[in-house]
Structure 1
Amino acid sequence: MDPQDACRIAIIGLGKVARDRHVDAISRAPGARLAATADPQASLPGIPAFPSLEALLASGTGFDAVALCTPPAIRTRLAAAALAAGKHVLLEKPPGATVAEVTALTHLAHRQHRTLYATWHSRHAPAVEPARARLATRRIRAIRIDWKEDVRHWHPGQDWIWEPGGFGVFDPGINALSILTRILPRPVFVTDAELLLPANRATPIAAHLRFTDTEGLDGRAAFDWRPTGPEDWTIRIETDEGPLAIERGGRRLLEGGLLLLDQPKAEYPAIYSRFTALAGQGASEVDLAPLALVADTFLLSRRHTVEAFH
C-alpha cells in the first residue's frame, strides 16, 4: 500500500500499554501509520505531539483515526469527541467503564458513519481460533480459568486501576473472559462471584467466579493480582472428547496433554490490521460480552475486605 493511502492514526494516552504495544504495532501493520500523539506528559521523537485530544483536533494536523489508550473511565468523552470530529475510533480494552456508555458510542459511530472498534487483544492469540474450531462440535462439561499475575510488574505506579472504573484485577481478568466468549459455541452467564478488595482500595485485587450456560456448564474462574512467583494464564476445558487447555494467555494449545501449538503472540499488529480493514469499509465491531460478564460479576458478588495494598 502506498504510505499516502495508509490510515493515519493518533494515539491518545501515551502510557505503558501504548508504548509497549501500540507504537510498535502501528509500525508493523500494513495500512497504518502513526500520525500524532496526545498526552499531557509524554511524547515520541519525531511525531507531532499535543497535550490533549482537543489540542490535536484544533491544530489542523491531518489524521483519520484515534487509538484511545487512556484509562477506561475517561475514554467515552474522548471517543465521542473523536467520532463527532469524523474520526474512526479504536478502544483499548476494556472499551469503557460501563456497558451503557459503550452502547451509546456504538450508536454515535453509526450516526457519524465512522468505525468504532472495541479491541480484545487476547482473542488474537494463536491458540484461540484453533480452540474455537475444536469446541464447535463438542459437548463442554467444565471449564477452569486461572489468571494470576503480579500487579506490581504489569501496572507499576498506576493508581487509576484501583479507583472506581479502573477494574482492578478484572483489567487482566477480562482478557480471559474475552477468550472464553470467543471460543465457546454458546453464551455463558455468571451465577456467583466473590470479590476481594484491599482495605485501602476501591477495586478488587482478586476474584472468584462461577458461570454456566443454558446446558448446565460447570464454569469457574480465579483471578489474582497478588502472586509474586510464577504467573499463570490458563483455561482448562473438559469435553466429551477429552481435555483441552489454552496456556500462557493463548500462546499454547494442548489436547489430551499433547502440545498442538506453541507460537509467539503478535496480538497488537493483528488488531491494527483489523482496525484499518474496518475503517476502509466504514464498519464497526463492538462485542460487549466480556464487559457484560464483568458488570454482572459486580452485580452478583459478595465482597470481602482483605489487607491493604501498597
Structure 2
Amino acid sequence: MAPIKLAIVGVGKIVRDQHVPAIAANPDFELVATASRHGTVEGVPAYKSIDEMLAARPEVRAVSLCMPPQFRYEAALAALNAGKHVFLEKPPGATISEVEDLKRIAASKGLSLFASWHSRYAPAVEQAKTYIAASPLKSMTVTWKEDVRHWHPGQAWIWEPGGLGVFDPGINALSIVTHILPKPVFLTEATLEFPENRAAPIAASLTFGNADRLVVNAVFDWRQTGKQSWDIEAETEAGNMRLADGGAKLFIDGALAYEAPEEEYPNLYRRFASIVKAGTSDADISPLTHVADAFMLGRRKIVEAFED
C-alpha cells in the first residue's frame, strides 16, 4: 500500500524531537505538509494555518495535532470535516466534553481518532501490566516530579486555564496507571498547589480508591531539581514492583527485571497506522477524566509565586 500522506499542525520542540523522526522511520507514513504560526520542518512545505494547508494539500489523509490543548478542538474539527484521520497529542483536549464531541464526529464520518498517550508505550509498561495481573495489588504509589524550567521554558500557555500545569506531565503517569491497573480507580481526595501568580497548579497530591479498597497515592511536583523522578511503585501479594524512569525500567523486589530501548513515538505511529488501516478509533480519555476530577474535587492551596 502507498504510505499515508500526513500533515503536522503545530511545530514545536516535541515535533522536532519525537514526531518527525518517528514518521521518517515509519514506511506507513509520508510527511507532506506542516501548518504552524512559527515553526517549520526542513524540506516539508509549510503553511500558516490548518485551513490554508487543507485547502492547498487535498491529498493529505491524516493530520497530527501538536498545538497546545486549548486550541486543538477547532483544528481537529476542521480536519475531520475535511475527511482526515486525526492524531491528538496528549492531552487530547482542554476538556472532556470537547474530546467526546470529536469522538462522536469521527465515528459519524467513519474516520479514525487517536488520543495518543505516549507513556503507555514506554518499554516496560506492558511487563508491569502483566506482573500486576498475576499478582493481586495491596497498594500503589506514584511519584512524578520534574523541573518545569528544564522541560517547559517560557511556555506561558501551560500555566493558563486548559494548560493543566503540573498535570501536563502528571497525566503521563495517570495514562500508565489507568492502563496497567486491572480495575478502574476513582479520585477520593486531592490538594492542588497554585502559585499566587498562576492559573494552573505547580504541584498536586492525589488519593484514588476503588470498590476493592485499593488505595493509590500520587504526588506530582514541578519544582524538582537535579535527578527527575518518574516512578510507579506497587506492593503486591507476590512482591514489590517499581516501574522506573517513566516506564523505561521494571524492578521486582529491587532487582532489574526488564528494560529496553525507548520507542514511545515510533510505537504511537505504528498504532495510528493500524487504526487508520482498520477504520477504527482509539480515544481513551480516562487519564483526562482523572485530571478533571482533581480540579473538581481538589482543595486549592496558594503557594509562592513562580517566575520562569
Question: Is this a same-fold pair by TM over 0.5?
Answer: yes
The residue aligned with 1:96 is: 93
What RMSD in Å do the two structures reach over aligned CA positions?
Answer: 0.9
Matches within 5 A, 1:141-160: 141-160=138-157
**Alignment partner of 1:168: what SS?**
coil
Deviation (angstroms), 1:137: 2.9
- Is the Cα contact below 8 Å between 2:189 and 2:206 reproduced in 1? yes
Deviation (angstroms), 1:30: 2.9
Q: Distance in 1 between matches of 2:150 and 2:303?
A: 21
Matched, 1:175 2:172: yes
- Is the Cα contact below 8 Å between 2:69 and 2:163 reproduced in 1? yes
1:12 to 9, 14, 25: 9
The residue aligned with 2:40 is: 43
The code of the aligned residue for 1:121 comes to: H
The residue aligned with 1:225 is: 222
Deviation (angstroms), 1:214: 1.0
- Is the Cα contact below 8 Å between 1:35 and 1:62 reproduced in 2? no
The residue aligned with 2:205 is: 208
The code of the aligned residue for 1:161 comes to: I
Q: Distance in 1 between matches of 2:99 and 2:120?
A: 19
**Alignment partner of 2:63: what SS?**
strand
**Alignment partner of 2:134: what SS?**
coil
1:135 to 125, 132, 136: 132
Q: Distance in 1 between matches of 2:287 and 2:296?
A: 15
2:115 to 105, 108, 118: 118
1:23 to 9, 20, 25: 20
The code of the aligned residue for 2:250 comes to: L
**Alignment partner of 1:249: what SS?**
helix
Deviation (angstroms), 1:138: 2.2
| Gap runs ≥5 in structure 2 | none
The residue aligned with 1:78 is: 75
The residue aligned with 1:276 is: 273
2:64 to 49, 64, 67: 67
Deviations 1:22-79 (A, max 9, x none): 1111111230111110001121221010000010011135211000000001101110
The code of the aligned residue for 2:247 comes to: G
Q: Distance in 2 between matches of 1:10 and 1:177?
A: 28
Q: Distance in 1 between matches of 2:82 and 2:202?
A: 38
TM-score, normalised to structure 1, is: 0.97
**Alignment partner of 1:35: what SS?**
strand
**Alignment partner of 2:104: what SS?**
helix
Q: Distance in 1 between matches of 2:57 and 2:167?
A: 38
The code of the aligned residue for 2:194 comes to: L
Q: How many residues align?
A: 307
Deviations 1:127-172 (A, max 9, x none): 1111111111322111111000101111111000000000000000
**Alignment partner of 1:136: what SS?**
helix
| Gap runs ≥5 in structure 1 | none
Matched, 1:234 2:223: no
Q: Distance in 1 between matches of 2:204 and 2:302?
A: 12
The code of the aligned residue for 1:183 comes to: I
- Is the Cα contact below 8 Å between 1:30 and 1:273 reproduced in 2? no
The residue aligned with 1:198 is: 195
Matched, 1:259 2:238: no
- Is the Cα contact below 8 Å between 1:194 and 1:301 reproduced in 2? yes
Q: Distance in 2 between matches of 1:182 and 1:29?
A: 25
- Is the Cα contact below 8 Å between 2:119 and 2:247 reproduced in 1? yes
**Alignment partner of 1:152: what SS?**
helix
After alignment, is 244-253 or 260-269 more displaced?
Answer: 260-269
Deviation (angstroms), 1:303: 0.5
**Alignment partner of 1:243: what SS?**
strand
The code of the aligned residue for 2:99 comes to: V
The code of the aligned residue for 2:282 comes to: E
- Is the Cα contact below 8 Å between 1:29 and 1:270 reproduced in 2? no
The code of the aligned residue for 1:43 comes to: T
Which aligned runs of 4 or more in structure 1 are off by greater than 6 angstroms? none
Identity over the aligned pairs, expressed in percent? 51
Deviation (angstroms), 1:19: 1.4
